[in-house]
Amino acid sequence: MTPNKFRTLALSLAGSVESAHMGHPDFRVAGRIFATLGYPDDKSGMVKFTPEQQRKFLKEAPGVFAPCSGVWGERGATNVHLPAAKVGVLRTALKAAWQNVTAAHSA
Protein backbone atom coordinates (compact mmCIF):
# COMPACT_ATOMS: atom_id res chain seq x y z
CA MET A 1 0.00 0.00 0.00
CA THR A 2 1.28 3.43 -0.91
CA PRO A 3 0.24 6.77 0.56
CA ASN A 4 -1.32 7.70 -2.80
CA LYS A 5 -3.41 4.51 -2.87
CA PHE A 6 -4.54 5.20 0.73
CA ARG A 7 -5.51 8.71 -0.44
CA THR A 8 -7.44 7.34 -3.43
CA LEU A 9 -9.34 4.85 -1.26
CA ALA A 10 -10.20 7.49 1.35
CA LEU A 11 -11.38 9.99 -1.25
CA SER A 12 -13.53 7.35 -2.97
CA LEU A 13 -15.96 7.45 -0.02
CA ALA A 14 -18.98 9.70 -0.56
CA GLY A 15 -18.47 13.27 0.58
CA SER A 16 -14.82 12.76 1.54
CA VAL A 17 -12.38 15.63 1.14
CA GLU A 18 -8.68 16.00 1.81
CA SER A 19 -7.50 18.67 4.24
CA ALA A 20 -4.61 18.92 6.71
CA HIS A 21 -4.18 18.71 10.47
CA MET A 22 -0.94 19.34 12.35
CA GLY A 23 1.04 19.21 9.10
CA HIS A 24 -0.38 15.87 7.94
CA PRO A 25 -2.93 15.17 5.21
CA ASP A 26 -6.29 14.17 6.63
CA PHE A 27 -9.56 12.94 5.20
CA ARG A 28 -12.87 14.32 6.37
CA VAL A 29 -16.55 13.90 5.84
CA ALA A 30 -19.01 16.52 7.10
CA GLY A 31 -16.00 18.42 8.47
CA ARG A 32 -14.86 15.56 10.74
CA ILE A 33 -11.63 13.59 10.38
CA PHE A 34 -11.93 9.85 9.77
CA ALA A 35 -8.36 9.12 8.58
CA THR A 36 -4.92 10.71 8.25
CA LEU A 37 -1.66 10.05 6.44
CA GLY A 38 1.95 10.48 7.49
CA TYR A 39 1.83 9.99 11.23
CA PRO A 40 3.97 8.88 12.98
CA ASP A 41 5.99 8.45 9.74
CA ASP A 42 5.60 8.43 5.97
CA LYS A 43 4.83 4.68 5.97
CA SER A 44 1.80 5.11 8.23
CA GLY A 45 -1.79 6.22 8.21
CA MET A 46 -4.48 6.39 10.88
CA VAL A 47 -8.12 5.36 10.91
CA LYS A 48 -10.65 6.43 13.52
CA PHE A 49 -12.27 3.23 14.83
CA THR A 50 -14.41 2.53 17.85
CA PRO A 51 -12.52 0.53 20.50
CA GLU A 52 -14.52 -2.57 19.48
CA GLN A 53 -13.61 -2.14 15.82
CA GLN A 54 -9.99 -1.59 16.80
CA ARG A 55 -9.89 -4.91 18.67
CA LYS A 56 -11.42 -6.70 15.67
CA PHE A 57 -8.95 -5.25 13.15
CA LEU A 58 -5.96 -5.83 15.46
CA LYS A 59 -6.96 -9.49 15.74
CA GLU A 60 -7.60 -9.92 12.01
CA ALA A 61 -4.51 -8.06 10.74
CA PRO A 62 -1.97 -7.58 13.57
CA GLY A 63 0.88 -6.62 11.21
CA VAL A 64 -1.21 -3.91 9.61
CA PHE A 65 -2.98 -2.23 12.54
CA ALA A 66 -1.73 -1.01 15.93
CA PRO A 67 -3.34 1.32 18.48
CA CYS A 68 -2.12 4.91 18.41
CA SER A 69 -0.35 5.94 21.59
CA GLY A 70 -2.09 7.35 24.64
CA VAL A 71 -5.74 8.22 25.07
CA TRP A 72 -6.33 8.52 21.31
CA GLY A 73 -5.40 4.88 20.91
CA GLU A 74 -7.56 3.86 23.86
CA ARG A 75 -10.51 5.58 22.16
CA GLY A 76 -9.97 3.69 18.90
CA ALA A 77 -7.47 5.74 16.89
CA THR A 78 -5.48 3.09 15.04
CA ASN A 79 -2.24 3.32 13.06
CA VAL A 80 -2.03 1.57 9.70
CA HIS A 81 1.37 0.21 8.61
CA LEU A 82 1.01 0.93 4.90
CA PRO A 83 3.61 -1.53 3.51
CA ALA A 84 1.73 -4.43 5.13
CA ALA A 85 -1.80 -3.30 4.18
CA LYS A 86 -3.74 -4.89 1.34
CA VAL A 87 -6.39 -2.99 -0.60
CA GLY A 88 -9.33 -5.06 0.65
CA VAL A 89 -8.60 -4.72 4.36
CA LEU A 90 -7.75 -1.03 4.06
CA ARG A 91 -10.91 -0.33 2.06
CA THR A 92 -12.94 -2.05 4.81
CA ALA A 93 -11.10 -0.11 7.54
CA LEU A 94 -11.56 3.26 5.84
CA LYS A 95 -15.24 2.56 5.24
CA ALA A 96 -15.73 1.68 8.92
CA ALA A 97 -13.98 4.90 10.01
CA TRP A 98 -16.01 6.92 7.48
CA GLN A 99 -19.24 5.34 8.74
CA ASN A 100 -18.31 6.16 12.35
CA VAL A 101 -17.99 9.83 11.47
CA THR A 102 -21.08 9.98 9.26
CA ALA A 103 -23.20 8.18 11.88
CA ALA A 104 -22.03 10.59 14.59
CA HIS A 105 -22.79 13.56 12.33
CA SER A 106 -26.33 12.43 11.56
CA ALA A 107 -27.16 11.61 15.19
- The domain that contains 84 carries what CATH number? 3.90.1150.30
Note down the domain range covering 44. Answer: 3-106
**Domain total of the chain:** 1
CB neighbours (10 Å) of residue 54?
A: 24
Taking only the tens place, the pLDDT of each residue in 1-45 is: 999 999 999 999 999 999 998 889 999 999 999 999 998 899 999
Predicted TM-score (pTM) above 0.75: yes
Q: 34 phi and psi, to 5 degrees?
A: -120, -15
Between 107 and 18, whose confidence is greater? 18
Taking only the tens place, the pLDDT of each residue in 30-88 is: 999 999 999 889 999 999 999 999 999 999 999 999 999 999 999 999 999 999 999 99
Could you give the CA distance from residue 101 to residue 49 in angstroms, rounded to a whole number? 9
